[in-house]
A and B are shown apart, each in its own frame.
Chain A
Amino acid sequence: MAAYFDLLSAKLGKAVSQAQSNNDNETLIVLSDKKLIKKAALEIKKKFDILFMLVVVDYKPRFELNYVFSSYSSKNILTLRVNIDEKDYSIDSISKIFDSANWEEREAYDLFGIKFNGHPDLRRILLPEDWPGHPMRKDFIVTDEVRNWTGLDLKF
């Protein structure tokens, strides 16, 4: 699926590179600069309808974000891979471009502590608001304190 790659590289130049994908209808594109995510999303919006998955992996150097886009009409899948290093856990939000990114980004914020700049409502989605820490990070250790935390003021 070189067509989608050509489309993106025409706009973004050398910031994008294509990686090997296993299936015929899948395209895997790596974006080297995280500041270009909004631009890339606007380009992708022309060919793909929805963002149906945002996968975050805790690798080295730190987080790898996989935005998986899909199209209802062509049944093709495009994965956009962006890396975030340890200096700054933030990236621009694409929730204005793809509506489904809203909750996906909230989940990534909840479990990994990635900040999405420009998100309209960046709150925790699964855990309570006053939960300490981000549990899906590799350096998060489940201690007894975390296990027994209820966040409740109990008097019985």
Chain B
Amino acid sequence: MHTAKKQLDDIEGNEFSYPGLSDIIFMKSEKFIETVLNWGRSNSLWPLTFGTSCCAIEMMTFGATKVDSDRMGVLFIGDSPRQADLLLVSGTITKKMARRLLNVYEQMPSPKYVIAVGACNVSGGLYHDSYNTIHGIDLIMPVDVYIPGCPPRPEEFMDAVRVLQRLIKQNKAKASLKNGSIL
């Protein structure tokens, strides 16, 4: 049907580009339920804040008054991996810390989404030549959205969350792709 419009959405990105009414009508029931669930999940992302260095300061600003993350459903409720959907990894991850990070990631219930914050987590950043850091956390876990910057501004966190919400609504987030049906 709207092939041109869909392509445009994929390229430009549109927050309303989750499956339309006509898509839903002809959908298999499993996928329909998953789509509805994903719509709900995207609007209440509870983050687990994993801050190890300076990016964590910007992450705090993201949750604070001026750039209010609550209005997008990202509630900084409590640091428990058991109740979190979203892992916000902000800060340099050393090789010793990588095990702890993976441990925390494995404690989170599925579906779980990961945002890699800052140059260190995207590609190693300032420590790209170091013997003791992980050069991008996508070496150790699947990452949905990357935020470049050293450190990125809180507005970029907001942008990343909107990108992630769009991915979840389109059933394109890594957690949905990997497990297939999450029911």
**A residues lining the B interface (CB < 8 Å):** 126-128, 131, 135, 142, 146-152, 154, 156
What is the distance, in angstroms, from A125's C-beta to the closest C-beta of chain B? 10
Main DSSP-derived SS at the A contact region = loop
The reply on B64 being an interface residue by CB < 8 A is: no
Quote the shortest CB–CB distance from B88 to chain A (angstroms): 19
Q: Please name all residues of chain B whose beta carbon is closer than 8 Å to the beta carbon of A154 when the two chains form the complex.
A: 140
Nearest residue, chain B, Cβ from A140 = B131
Query: Contact at B131–A147, with CB atoms within 8 Å?
Result: yes
Nearest CB to that of B133 among chain A residues?
A147
Q: List the A side residues contacting B98 at CB < 8 Å.
A: 150-152
Contact between B95 and A149 (Cβ–Cβ < 8 Å)?
Answer: yes
Contacts of B96 in A (CB 8 A): 126-128
Question: Is B54 among interface residues, defined by CB-CB distance under 8 A?
Answer: no
User: Do A152 and B141 touch (CB < 8 A)?
Assistant: no
* Beta-carbon contact of A147 and B141 below 8 Å: no
Which residue of chain A has the shortest Cβ distance to B99 in the bound complex?
Answer: A152
Instruction: From B102, B135, B141, give the contact of A148 (CB < 8 A).
Output: B135
Contacts of B131 in A (CB 8 A): 135, 142, 146-147
Interchain CA distance A156-B141 in the complex, whole Å: 7
State the total of A-B contacts with C-beta under 8 angstroms.
37
Determine if B132 is an interface residue (Cβ-Cβ < 8 Å).
Answer: yes
CB of B132 within 8 A of CB of A150, answer no
B30 within 8 A of A: no
Whether a CB of chain A sits under 8 angstroms from the CB of B139 is yes
Please name all residues of chain B whose beta carbon is closer than 8 Å to the beta carbon of A135 when the two chains form the complex. 131-132
- Listed by A's residue number, 16 A-B pairs whose Cβ atoms lie within 8 Å are A126-B132, A127-B95, A127-B132, A135-B131, A142-B130, A147-B129, A147-B130, A147-B131, A148-B139, A150-B140, A151-B95, A151-B98, A152-B98, A152-B99, A152-B140, A156-B142
Tell me, rounded to whole Å, the shortest Cβ–Cβ distance linking A53 to chain B: 22
Residue of B95, B131, B139 with most partner-chain A CB within 10 A: B131
Taking the complex as formed, is B86 at the interface, i.e. its CB lies under 8 A from any CB of chain A?
no
Closest to B98 in A: A150
Q: Which 10 A-B pairs have the closest CB atoms?
A: A128-B96, A142-B131, A135-B131, A146-B131, A128-B95, A150-B98, A156-B142, A152-B140, A150-B140, A154-B140
Contacts of A148 in B (CB 8 A): 135, 139
A129 to chain B, nearest CB (A): 9
- In the complex formed, the residue of B with least CB distance to A131 is B95
For A142, the chain B residues whose CB sits under 8 A away are 129-131
Interchain CA distance A150-B93 in the complex, whole Å: 11
For residue B174, give the distance in angstroms from its CB to the closest CB of chain A.
Answer: 10
Answer whether residue B134 sits at the interface, using C-beta atoms and an 8 A cutoff.
yes
Task: Give the distance in Å from the alpha carbon of A151 to the alpha carbon of B130 in the complex.
Answer: 15
Most chain B beta-carbon neighbours within 10 Å: one of A131, A150, A151, A156: A150
B residues less than 8 Å from A151 (CB atoms) = 95, 98-99
Interface flags, B81-96, vs A, CB<8A=1, else 0: 0000000000000011
State which residues 102-157 of B face A: CB under 8 Å.
Answer: 102, 129-132, 134-135, 139-142
